[in-house]
Chains A and B, each alone.
Chain A
Amino acid sequence: MALEESSQAYRQLREIVGEENITTDPVVMDTYVWQWLGDLVGEKGNCFMPLRPEAVVLPGSTREVQRVVKVCNRFGLKFKAHSTGWISYAAPLTEGVVILDLRRMDRILEINTKDMYALIEPYVTFSQLQAELMKVGLNCEVNAAGSNCSALAQAAAGFGAGYGNYHMGYGAGTLLGVEWVLPDGEVLKMGSLGSGCGWITSDGPGPSLKGIMRGHMGTLGGCGVFTKCALRVYHWPGPTEIVCENEAMPGYERFVNLPDNIAMYYLYFDDYEKRSEAICKVGEEDIGYVMGFMQRGLAILGLADTNAHFVDLKEDLFDALPSISFVVLLATHSREELEHQKRVLEKILEETGGGYIELLQQEPFNDVITLHLIKVGTLSAHAVCGRSGAFLCAPGSNAVTRRIAGRLESLSIELKKKYIEEGKLVDDGGEGTWGVVWDHGHTIYIENLVEWDPADPESSMAHVRLQEEVNKETIEKLSYLSSMGTFVEESAKMNPEDMVKLKDMTPSDLIEKSEEMAAAHSPYDAKLGPLLRNYHVWLRRIREQLDPNNSSDASPP
């Protein structure tokens, strides 16, 4: 139900953001409801999420955000922040939600080269930020989703896996001072900012609530609005501007004059143990700039220009490429240093019996992969979302040890192949592993990407069945359960009616009054919470303190 234009709430919202920046038109609001993964949550075969917002507003400043949030509190409305909005969680997950599209807040406010941070608003994309940083010899971690996403959203609100994690850290790790409009409309200045010491840290002097605010996955729109944040930035030894050719031709994009202090190496190994050993050594030797996994099926999806090209390329390349691999980009301050790092890498390969995948180090593949590792660009979207319209990972979003990574990879390939044979999933040979390396090789973030046809309910369901099976097997064989996998499995079963009911449930209702609802809303918590000191109960209690009127829209399950 949209807000009536005659209602007090509407009039107050319009007064805050101005006529041009508010809408309640159903067709216009539908553009905030259609979402990647919508087919899993709503009606199958259709990406419209089940619930429309009450209104969409576009505030232009922190002050406006604050006032909008206060109006929501006053009129019993919920609200949800939305940066570039490329995830289903950015849509309303309960009824009665006002969406705050933060597109008008798109400024890079400061690039501090001395204290090495960038101060940004929510709608600054990675590509914009990175381009400005490179001009002054700096770089930032870029979410591997794509450089079209909001840099603030990943650091402050959710996820944050990217090739740069290897030495720049996971999304949360790059976060410094934050300006946070709390669910009741008060502004909290977090970290050093809170005691007037600038933006340089998230952990004081001043209030450090990073664990509560962000945690591992982020609150995904479920707890207030982050209106500014500072991100840690790093040295960039490459050119101040990356000049490219064929920017609009996937599979053929090229560097013009790739400098001689940057080189990409695609490495293969005979088994997962050896790969694990090599990753460990690369980290210990402190070489490499960015690092990741793109298994052959996935690599071919990314390298093909069109779907028809993929069909041909798979035929030509799949068997010619080794299965167990990872890719590392060396970017050094001099050619000599590059030579040194290359020698170290060769030594590691000698010790682990690995080698270079020569085929991928030739043109055009070399340039395409190198550009992707540095800038990410739209290659991820092109490889997985753009081909079939939908993708996710089975197993999903896993931060694991190097050993478990190999076991997860092999287990998921086998299970995925079964579903591919049914003809309902995209056939990447089962080998769609994607991943990044954290903490210099101690932790691996790994997913086996699965692509399906969101317009075909059977295809969506094949993916859900695969998730169920992967979840079951990972618990049985590896004593491990992934949050994303559980979300998919359970949300596919969730009745949209339940989402409506969630509207009036406070966090404590969720814990106490309706176990069934709580379990439906957050099956992961229901399964794991009791085993882990009921962390979910504590989280909800905290949320209740921060959000006395239960105004933030629900976090995803």
Chain B
Amino acid sequence: MALEDYEFGARYCSRDSICKFIPQYAVKDARFAQCCPSISRYNVHAYSGGGRVIMATSLLQGRGEISEEVKEIIYKCQLCGACQTSCHIVTELVEPLEIARELKFRCVEEGKENQALSSVRERLVKTNNIFGKKQADRGKWAEGLKVKDAGAEAAEVLFFAGCRLSYDDSFAPVARKSVELMSGAGMDVGILGKGETCCGGRLFDMGYREDFRKLASTIAKKIKACGAKRLVTACGCCYGTFKQFFPMMELDLEGVELLHISEVLDDLMGEGKIELKREIPLRVTYHDPCHLGRLGEPYERWEGQYVKKLGLWVAEPDREVRRGLGGVFDPPRNVIAGIEGIKLVEMKRKREYAWCCGAGGGVLEAYPEFAAWTAGERLQEAMSEGCEALVTACPWCETAFRMAVKESGVGELKVMDLVDLVAMAT
């Protein structure tokens, strides 16, 4: 796809600003009614999903060019997709999220990259991980763990750790416990260890479509070659990449069932295969990672056309309107609610209209203070519900939240991964 492919729909944006807010019927108070971190922080209309649509139209019509200011706006977007959920309540024709992403691709194509991201890309492409660390160290997190090397022997389940769990020591326990919980429940688990590479998702969302294609096709081949029937990840971003970006770019993982660890834990707990021994008396809320939630809905490529019927553009063949409803929402909630002593409360912005953690789209790397601000907003929301802990299911979200806790000093709120929580209860 190219920006031009979205021009047709962009003409039908009515500039109603609906994409700035969570669905109107979901608004429960004035403070937490916004859905888009970018417009909420920077206010100028161009920062909103709709603003991006109009900027794209303006560029395509040759009314202006990608100036420094326009570039900055393009990159100050987490590609969290909240705008799309709200927009698609009113129209199926406009694609604010896809346009926001295409604008990043366009910057790269025109050589107008964001400098910080350009360096991230360079080291990622060179080292196959976002931190620029050694490939040989990728499997270190699993040292001493009883788990198969899926590159060498067949395993039914391939656990994909991803960059954050692989290289950030503070997250190694999440990876280890994931494997332990699955193995302990009798599952046949393997990992790629030092044979694993980045899933490429962050490259894609930073605007590097072709680099993503290369990296992702390599890992797709490896995953398929190892013969596992199920691919499990504890990273929301990796999950979203496999679920959405792979089919979007026609990368095939056919025959491999993709699962997030929360889905696995939900099943195992339901089957009584994980024994929970401890009560955890805690008032917690759950943060839906964008790529696991609304962006984790199955992606179906649509190759059709719009035809006029009764004066309206109708998709032929029928096209699923992406509102994020098919993401992974219930399993993590079931898992939390299944732990004795826990009181699970919902935040005002939840499920398909959850507020983003701030880390996506290269924002964490290029504009850390904006990422921290976004995460801080979420922490405030959790605290407004009187929560003691915020649980999430993606290490990137947790990273952003930890950063915000440090910066804002809201020390009393614990930030935890779902796997940690389950491990605490076992």
Contacts and interface: CB of A to CB of B under 8 A. Distances in A.
Given A30-B64, A35-B15, A58-B43, A308 B314 contact: yes
Contacts of A249: 89, 323, 325
A140 B193 CA distance: 60
Contacts of B352: 248
A36 B16 contact: yes
B51 interface: yes
Contacts of A376: 24
B27 interface: yes
A314 B310 contact: yes
Given A148-B18, A390-B14, A27 B58 contact: yes
A367 to B, nearest CB: 11
A125 B33 contact: yes
Nearest to B23: A247
Contact of B311 (A127, A305, A453): A453
Nearest to A453: B311
A306 B321 contact: yes
Interface in B298-330: 308-315, 318, 321, 323-325
A84 B16 CA distance: 8
B67 interface: yes
Contacts, number: 227
B424 interface: no
A543 interface: no
A27 B14 CA distance: 17
Contacts of A469: none
B406 interface: no
Interface in B329-375: 352-353
B310 A427 contact: yes
B331 to A, nearest CB: 19
B97 interface: no
Interface in A377-408: 377-378, 381-382, 385-390
B91 interface: yes
Nearest to B45: A31
B285 interface: no
Interface residues of B, number: 64
A381 B18 contact: yes
B18 A25 contact: no
B187 interface: no
B16 A248 contact: no
Contact of A248 (B45, B65, B91, B353): B353
Interface string A454-470: 11000100000000000
Interface string B90-122: 111100000000000000000000000000000
B336 to A, nearest CB: 20
Contact of A27 (B24, B59, B321): B59
A28 B73 contact: yes
Contact of A84 (B17, B25, B313): B17
B24 A389 contact: no
A389 to B, nearest CB: 3
B13 interface: yes
Contacts of B26: 244, 247-248
A530 interface: no
Interface string A107-120: 01000000000000
Nearest to A107: B30
A249 B320 CA distance: 12
A23 B92 CA distance: 31
Given A28-B70, A146-B24, A249-B323, A454 B89 contact: no
Interface string A351-382: 00000000000000000000100011110011
Given A382-B89, A420-B311, A31 B17 contact: no
A86 interface: yes
Interface string A1-33: 000000000000000000011010111101110
A323 interface: no
Interface string B1-22: 0000000000111111110111
A311 B312 contact: yes
A242 B90 CA distance: 21
Interface stretch (A128-136, A324-332, A439-447): A128-136
Contacts of B312: 307, 310-311, 387-388, 426, 451
B412 interface: no
B311 A30 contact: no
A258 to B, nearest CB: 13
A448 B259 CA distance: 50
A253 B25 contact: yes
A307 B88 CA distance: 12
A311 B194 CA distance: 54
A27 B309 contact: no
B271 interface: no
B13 A34 contact: yes
A471 B11 CA distance: 29
Interface string A414-428: 000000100111110
Nearest to A452: B311
B24 A127 contact: yes
B321 to A, nearest CB: 6
A241 B314 contact: no
A81 to B, nearest CB: 14
B277 interface: no
A322 B264 CA distance: 52
Q: Which of B28, B44, B308, B318 has the most CB of A within 10 A?
A: B44
B22, B28, B67, B73: which has the most chain A beta carbons within 10 Å? B28
Contacts of B23: 247-248, 377-378
A85 B85 CA distance: 21
A448 B73 CA distance: 40
A468 B323 CA distance: 39
Interface in A15-66: 20-21, 23, 25-28, 30-32, 34-36, 46-48, 56, 58
A30 B63 CA distance: 9
A154 interface: no
A104 interface: yes
A484 interface: no
B85 A307 contact: no
Contact of B58 (A26, A85, A104, A389): A26
Nearest to A45: B11
Interface in A476-493: none
B250 interface: no
Interface in A221-267: 241-242, 244, 247-250, 253
B327 to A, nearest CB: 11
A201 interface: no
A124 interface: yes
Contacts of A128: 27, 29-30, 33
Contacts of B268: none
Interface of A: 20-21, 23, 25-28, 30-32, 34-36, 46-48, 56, 58, 84-86, 101, 103-104, 108, 124-125, 127-129, 131-132, 135, 146-148, 241-242, 244, 247-250, 253, 305-308, 310-311, 314, 371, 375-378, 381-382, 385-390, 420, 423-427, 451-455, 459
16 contacts: A23-B69, A26-B63, A28-B44, A28-B69, A36-B16, A84-B17, A103-B43, A128-B30, A135-B29, A247-B24, A248-B352, A375-B25, A386-B93, A426-B312, A451-B311, A453-B313
Given A26-B58, A128-B30, 19 more contacts: A20-B43, A27-B58, A27-B63, A27-B66, A31-B55, A34-B54, A48-B57, A58-B43, A58-B44, A85-B17, A125-B33, A146-B18, A242-B25, A307-B313, A308-B318, A386-B92, A388-B311, A388-B312, A426-B311
Task: Sort A-B residue pairs by CB-CB distance and give the 9 closest, nearest first.
Answer: A389-B12, A386-B91, A386-B90, A426-B311, A27-B64, A128-B30, A26-B64, A30-B58, A247-B23
